[in-house]
Structure 1
C-alpha cells in the first residue's frame, strides 16, 4: 500500500467510527435518494439493518413522501442545507412510525447526509419534566395545608381537655373525648402528609 492510499483510508476510517458512535440517526443518500449508508442509530430508528436499508429509496420511510423527496432533490440542485420539523417516519414492514426533525446537508451534487432527531423521546422527556414540576407544586400545597390544619387542631384539643375538667357528668366528658380523639387522628394525618421529620436511622444487620 502506497503513502497516498494510507493517507486517504485513515480519514475514511475515522469518519466511519465517528458516524457509528453518534446517538443521532444518520443516513447517506445517493443522487437517486437511495440509501448508501446508515449508522447504528439509524438502523435502530428504522428497525432495519444496514443490509436491508441499502439501495432502498428514502421515499418508503416518509409519510407525504412526494413532498419530502421533492425537497431533497431540490437540495441536490441548490446545495443548500435545511431543517425539516415534525416529519412522520414509517418503519418498513411494520405499522409503527415515529415523529422526527431532520437536517439535510448536501455533501456533493450526488450525495446527501440526513440527520434524524426523534421527537417522541423529547416529548416524553418534556411531559415527564412537566409532571415532575406539577408533582412538586402539589406536594408544596399539601404540606402548606397540613401546617395550617395542625395549628388549630392543637387549640381545639387543648380547649376540649380544659372543658373535660370542668364537666361533672361522665356522659358529657365522653363528647370531649371524641373531640380529642378526632383531633389526634387529624393531627396524625397531617404528620403523614408532611412526611418524615427526621431521616431514617439505618443500622447494620447480619442476615446470616
Structure 2
C-alpha cells in the first residue's frame, strides 16, 4: 500500500488517538456497561468513526470495540468483549507477542492482515496497532477493509478532478455562449441573402451545429441555474414515475423489475433532481442495451433497502437508504470505468458524456453517495442516501 493510501487509512486513527489524548482509560472487563469505565462521550465519539476500533489487553483479549467493529466482525460488542483477537485476526496475536509487556513504549505498526469470520472466506484488511496513552498495557487496534480504503482514495481523487473539470467547463460554457449566438445570427442573415438552395445547405449546417452546441452549453449549466427545492420525498414514488416513463417509451423488449422495501422512510431531497438522477441512470442503461431490447431480453431491476453503518462522504451513518439500478447490459468499458462520472466522458457513439456527470452533481448536492460495479451481463449503480435515526 503506497504512502497516500496509508495516510487515508490512518486518518481515522489520528482522530481516535486524539480522543484518547490526556485521558486515562481504566477498562473493567465484562461489566454491565458496554463501555466499561470509558466516559460516555468517549464511546459515543468512537462510535461515530467509520474505522473499526478495538481496544485490546496486552494478552490480546478484547476489552472494548466501537460500532464499526461490531459490523465488521458481525458480532455484538457484548459478545466480542472478552474474546481473543486471534480468532478473528491471527496476525495480530503475533504482533502482540513481539511488543513490550507494559506501557506504550512502541511505535504504531500497520500491515495487511486476514480477517477470519465464520461461514465466509478470509478477507484482507489493513490493521494498525498502537499504544493506548495513559493506560497500563492496553493497545488500540484500528481496522479498515482494503476495499474501503482504496474506495476512499478513489473518491477523493475523483472529487478533486471532478470539481476542477466542472469549474473549467462552466467557465468555458459562459465564454462560448455569446459568440455562439453571434455565429447563428450571422448564418441566418447570410442564409437570407443566398440565392440557391445548394448554397443555403451550408448555412443550414452552421445553424444546426450552432443549435447543437447551444444545447450542449445549456446542459452544462443546468445544475447551477435552478434553485433547489428540498422537502420530504418518497423515493418509491420517484422510481415509479421514472419506471412509467421508460415503460411507455419501450412497451416491448424491456422488463423493469421492482424489488422494493416498502417500509423505506422518506428522504429530504429535491424531487425533480431525484427524478432526473434515476431517469438518467435508466436511460443510460437502456442506451447500452439496445441490442437486448431488439431481442426482447433487456432487464432493469430497481431495488431499495435500508443499509446500516455505512460511510457517506467521509461520515459514518447508522442508517441509510440504499437504491440500486441494475441492468443486464454489456457492462461499462474498463477503459472509462474510473472516469464515468466526469463530464464529457462517454463510451457510446454520439453520447455527450453529461448524463452521469449530472447524476453525480445532484447526488453530491443531496449529501449522498453513488458507486458502480460492472461486469459483462450486469451493471449495478448503488446510491446511498443518509437517514437520521428515529
Question: Would the TM-score normalized by the shorter structure come out above 0.5?
Answer: yes
Q: 2:113 — aligned with what?
A: 88
Q: 1:69 aligns with which of 96, 103, 109?
A: 96
Distance 1:71 1:157, change over 3 A: same
Does the CA-based 8 Å contact 1:59-1:69 persist in structure 2? Answer: no
Say whether the 8 Å CA contact 1:102–1:115 is kept in structure 2. Answer: yes
Alignment-derived partner of residue 37 in structure 2: 15
Do 1:99 and 1:118's aligned partners in 2 also have CA atoms closer than 8 Å? yes
Structure number with the bigger relative contact order (C-alpha 8 A, sep ≥ 6) is: 1
Of residues 136, 151, 154 in structure 2, which corresponds to 1:127? Answer: 154
Contact 1:25–1:116 at 8 Å: present in 2 too? yes
Q: Distance in 2 between matches of 1:152 and 1:92?
A: 63
Deviation at 1:140, TM superposition (A): 1.9
- Whether 2:64 is the aligned partner of 1:38: answer yes
Q: When you count helix as a share of all residues, which structure comes out higher?
A: 1
1:143 aligns with 2:170: yes
Which residue number in structure 1 is paired with residue 131 of structure 2?
Answer: 104
Pairwise CA distance, 1:99: 1.3
1:156 aligns with 2:183: yes
Name structure 2 gaps, 5 residues minimum: 1-26, 230-390
Point out where structure 1 has 5 or more consecutive residues left out of the alignment: 1-10, 203-208
The structure carrying a bigger strand percent of its residues is 2
| 3-state SS in 2 of match to 1:37 | strand
Q: Deviations over 1:140-189 (max 9, x none)?
A: 23223434443443343233223223223344334323322332222122
User: Are the structure 2 counterparts of residues 47 and 163 from structure 1 closer, same or farther at C-alpha, using a change threshold of 3 Å?
Assistant: same
CA distance in 1, matches of 2:205, 2:83: 81
- In structure 1, the partner of 2:143 is 118
Does the 8 Å contact 1:160/1:179 carry over to 2?
yes
Q: Highest Rg: 1 or 2? A: 1
TM-score (norm: length of structure 1) = 0.65
Query: Where does residue 6 of structure 1 map in the other structure?
Result: none
RMSD: 3.6
Using the size of structure 2 for normalisation, the TM-score is 0.39
Matched residue SS, 2:75: coil
